[in-house]
Structure 1
Amino acid sequence: MGGVFSNEIGSTKDDVENFLSYLKLAEGGDFNGQYNLGYCYQNGIGTTKDEEKAFQWYMKSAEGGNSDGQLLLGYCYHYGIGTTKDDEKAFQWNLKSAKGGNRNGQFNLGFSYHHGVGIKKDEKKAFQWYLKSAKGGNSNGQFNLGFSYHYGIGTKKDEKKAFQWYLKSVEGGNSNGPFGLGNCYDNGIGTTKDEEKAFQWYLKSAEGRNSDE
């Protein structure tokens, strides 16, 4: 699924102060504070890393209707973070997050329908949720929407729209987008064939992948 997490970070004085502030809010019933507290516990920000506590606070936040809490609770269930792995529960919480307008939840829901994770595979529904996510500005959703138009997955094949959404994903910083654009220019998919532009985008793709390693 699309990731929304940073790596564990060494705590600074500000991190500790923020953690204590979130703890106070969370214990007072603030759903956003509960989400932020869960994030701190998951990533060891301002406190010792504790995935079980992260899961517990995400649960409280999610049950209170916080779409980010619902998203990360789904993430925990999907990867077995602080709880037993359960893709069906992951799907249900991603669904709640998506219906709450969370663009990352919408992408995750599209991915679940696309690949049959925790739910029966349904490419039309996958396309619909990718579209919502993409329009909301999620670069993973934009890339996967381009991919769907490119290959006619869950929708009618449309190479011009594929190219447009690959381009949007690149503008949003998506790491897969440059390869998609390179492929379009290389093969004249939704745009005029241009080997020089293809090479430049393939190069950007390669450089991006090397920097991720």
Structure 2
Amino acid sequence: MKRIVLLVALLFGVVLQGQEINVKELQQLAEQGDVDAQSGLGLCYYNGEGVEQSYSKAVYWWEKAAEQGYAGAQYNLGICYAKGQGVEQSYSKAVYWWEKAAEQGYAGAQYDLGLCYYNGEGVEQSYSKAVYWFQKAAEQGYADAEYNLGVCYYKGQGVEKSVEKAKSWYRKACANFLYKACEALNKL
């Protein structure tokens, strides 16, 4: 139970009874192979919370968790590879990790994978594959994916052009407080 409270506190940035998060305890759990602790410790290093900020140490712990199939760590590794944080920048490696997380239903990874296909970053450009991944994320209420689906329908990229479907997706994204979707909807 103490471990769960510690991890929840870490992930949501709260302080336990006025004290800092016990990173040493988290490290011990991570070294024992605890996937939640590994991912949480990666987050500590990424944000510099309770430890000196280090992207390379964040990557180290996220790789440990990602190799155990932890979707959140796989997604975070993809971000590090896309941005070149703690690793050499590589869209193909970002795509590799985002695919693993996306296949587990991780909406952020599905969206970012869609962007890679849309822009041809790390993969051969494919609007139809971009639409596929945007659709997966949008079905989970991911506003940016809803907006990008609207763009694809409006422009006829990867799907048959449909202003009505574009409006529908813009409307959903706008309802999820994505301002640019509201603007796009008002222009149609």
Q: TM-score, normalised by structure 2?
A: 0.86
Q: Which residue of 2 aligns with 1:49?
A: 53
Extract unaligned runs of 5+ from structure 1. 1-10, 185-213
User: Aligned to 1:17, what secondary structure does the other structure show?
Assistant: coil
Q: What is the correspondence of 1:48-87 to structure 2 with a 5 Å cutoff?
A: 48-87=52-91
Q: Which residue of 2 aligns with 1:168?
A: 172
User: Aligned to 1:75, what secondary structure does the other structure show?
Assistant: helix
Q: Which residue of 2 aligns with 1:35?
A: 39
Question: Given the superposition, is the C-alpha separation of residues 13 and 130 from structure 1 closer, same or farther in structure 2, using an over 3 Å criterion?
Answer: closer
Equivalent residues of 1:12, 1:46 under 8 A apart:
no
* Seq. identity, %: 34
Question: Given the superposition, is the C-alpha separation of residues 87 and 161 from structure 1 closer, same or farther in structure 2, using an over 3 Å criterion?
Answer: same
171-180 or 90-99: which moved more? 171-180
4+ runs deviating over 3 angstroms: 11-15, 18-22
How far the C-alpha of 1:137 sits from its partner, in A, is 1.5
Equivalent residues of 1:25, 1:33 under 8 A apart:
yes
Extract unaligned runs of 5+ from structure 2. 1-12
Please, what is the CA RMSD of the aligned residues?
A: 1.8
Question: Given the superposition, is the C-alpha separation of residues 61 and 172 from structure 1 closer, same or farther in structure 2, using an over 3 Å criterion?
Answer: same
Q: What is the correspondence of 1:98-109 to structure 2 with a 5 Å cutoff?
A: 98-109=102-113
Q: What is the correspondence of 1:124-135 to structure 2 with a 5 Å cutoff?
A: 124-135=128-139
Alpha-carbon distance in 2 for matches of 1:183, 1:37: 45
1:17 to 2:16 alignment: no
Alpha-carbon distance in 2 for matches of 1:105, 1:12: 26
How far the C-alpha of 1:12 sits from its partner, in A, is 7.5
Match of 1:149 among 145, 148, 153: 153
